[in-house]
Structure 1
Amino acid sequence: MLSTVLTRAATPLLAAGLLVVGCAKPAPSPPHSGPAHTQNPPTTAGPQSPRFPQGKALREPALPAEIPRLGPRTRDRVPDGTNQAVVVTGEDRDSSRSTAVLYERDPVKGWKAVSGPWPAHNALNGWTDEHWAGDRRSPIGVFGLTDAGGRLPDPGTKIPYHQEEDLFAAGGTGFLGESLEGSFDYVVAINYNRRPGASPLYDDDSRPMGWDRGGGVWFHVDHEGPTQACVSLTRGRMRQLLLWLDPDERPVVVMGDAAALAR
């Protein structure tokens, strides 16, 4: 009888305890000890290519440098294998004033100026694409430089030098009344309408284009005035030119007014 009473008395207490337990929030799960799960795990970047570094564009190799201010037609006239060029640029088509710059060509880097600009004179009436005897214009073009000479002894040039004290003597006056004495102390023949391999004085019927197309076009010592068709430099520059020219480098002169050379 007593046990029955105790059982009946404990029943409401047990029910109350179940209600308390049933309404309580479940205990939180223990923290997960493994790595956190992500929906989009980071992508592991592979090693960068040393040939294409990140953030840098691929650069094209630099082309060999060209002689500035020469157009494609003029550049094409410079022979393959030529590594020395004297560029004589006239102020304009009808001017007798010009400048000269010496260039050398490196097989990898291309053309580079090595001396100049030097002041120079050309023909009284300027330049022409078609030179005729007596027109008092200098021929435009690219011409070889193979022979030299003069009234004075060879200063040490590598190209053939022909000394003639009497035949290279100059006299008289120029277009401005200036003295021509000493103009041919040093000369370098410009291979316009001439046969290479002979003295600059050599003239006969072997002129390829005939006598009416002129000839005897030289670099020579400046007399402070226009020329008939030649290009003149100061005595010191003529000597420097002679010492610089090397036949193994197949030197040429590129000459004309600025507009003509830019074609």
Structure 2
Amino acid sequence: MNVRKALALVSGAVLCTGLLGTGCASRAPDRPPAQPVSPRPAPAVPTARPLPGLGPAVRAQVPTDSGQALVVRAASPDATRAQVVLYERHPVRGWQAVAGPWSAHNGLRGWTSDHVVDDLRTPIGVFGISDAGGRLPDPGTRLPYDQDPEFSLSGTGHLGEDLEGSFDYVIAVDYNRVPGTTPLDKTRPLGEEKGGGVWIHVDHGGPTNACVSLAEEHMRALLRALDPARKPVVVMGPASALAR
């Protein structure tokens, strides 16, 4: 081999080695940058449903430990008819309707936030429900029940309807009374002038003096549903007052 060819071979080897050192050989392509992993959204937590149709002021009057609420809502302050729904409080979902809607009668002259004796208006507000009774035997309620022949009524109502049987079943509304006593108890803590004896009782087909009245079958259903361990209340009044 002559010197010229030897130098050419050496130069080629050196050149190739230099190119290999500087990246002339093929290589694996760079990996794309890692994409950030989006965190999985947390499962939605159900929002506890408040009692429908109640404004913040009325809602605040419902005791926090109450698990049942009977809502009696009339269309206007002068209405003599109302709609009744029983709600129960679920620990996660909030208030759920469990019975009704049922049609009811209330006072002949509608509703009032300042009830007085013989005004023929039903008191507005949130009241406990603690005692029941009636002329007929206990239909299976968990409330204290007083069967007594004194739960009798005769004569005619404001529209001339027969009142017989109106007190076959009654539930006392804890307005101006002593809870834990028979609905027949006439003790009036707020005074006689503030009225009393406000009951939920069997409907007689017309407006009442101050009570709320339901069909007999609905009274039986309500008596069986109410549970004193859940500290039931009645929330009652015209829609405009309950929305406050």
Instruction: Name the SS of the counterpart of 1:145 in structure 2.
Output: strand
> Which of 8, 11, 27 is 1:35 aligned to?
27
Structure 2 residue aligned with 1:147:
131
CA distance in 2, matches of 1:44, 1:153: 77
Question: After superposition, what is the alpha-carbon deviation per residue over 1:3-37, rounded to whole angstroms, capped at 9, x for unaligned?
Answer: xxxxxxxxxxxxxxxxxxxxxxxxxx9xx541387
Structure 1 residue aligned with 2:48:
64
- Cα–Cα, structure 1 residues 45 and 221, in superposed 2: closer, same or farther, change >3 Å? same
The alignment-based identity, stated in percent, is: 55
1:214 aligns with 2:198: no
Bigger Rg over Cα: 1
> Which of 64, 73, 83 is 2:57 aligned to?
73
1:232 aligns with 2:222: no
CA distance in 1, matches of 2:199, 2:167: 9
Q: What one-letter code is carried by the residue in structure 1 that aligns with 2:93?
A: K
Structure 1 residue aligned with 2:233:
252
Instruction: Name the SS of the counterpart of 1:100 in structure 2.
Output: strand
Instruction: Name the SS of the counterpart of 1:240 in structure 2.
Output: helix
Structure 2 residue aligned with 1:99:
83
Structure 2 residue aligned with 1:191:
174
Coordinate RMSD, CA, aligned:
2.0
Q: Is the 8 A contact 2:142 2:227 kept in 1?
A: yes
> Which of 44, 68, 86 is 2:34 aligned to?
44
Instruction: Name the SS of the counterpart of 2:171 in structure 1.
Output: strand
Instruction: Name the SS of the counterpart of 2:178 in structure 1.
Output: coil
Q: TM-score, normalised by structure 1?
A: 0.80
Cα offset for 1:136? 0.6
1:85 aligns with 2:69: yes
Consecutive unaligned residues of structure 2, counting only runs of 5 or more, are 1-18
Consecutive unaligned residues of structure 1, counting only runs of 5 or more, are 1-28
Q: Is the 8 A contact 2:173 2:200 kept in 1?
A: yes
CA distance in 2, matches of 1:211, 1:33: 107
CA distance in 1, matches of 2:227, 2:201: 18
Instruction: Name the SS of the counterpart of 1:232 in structure 2.
Output: strand
Q: TM-score, normalised by structure 2?
A: 0.86
Cα offset for 1:169? 1.1
> Which of 135, 154, 161 is 2:119 aligned to?
135
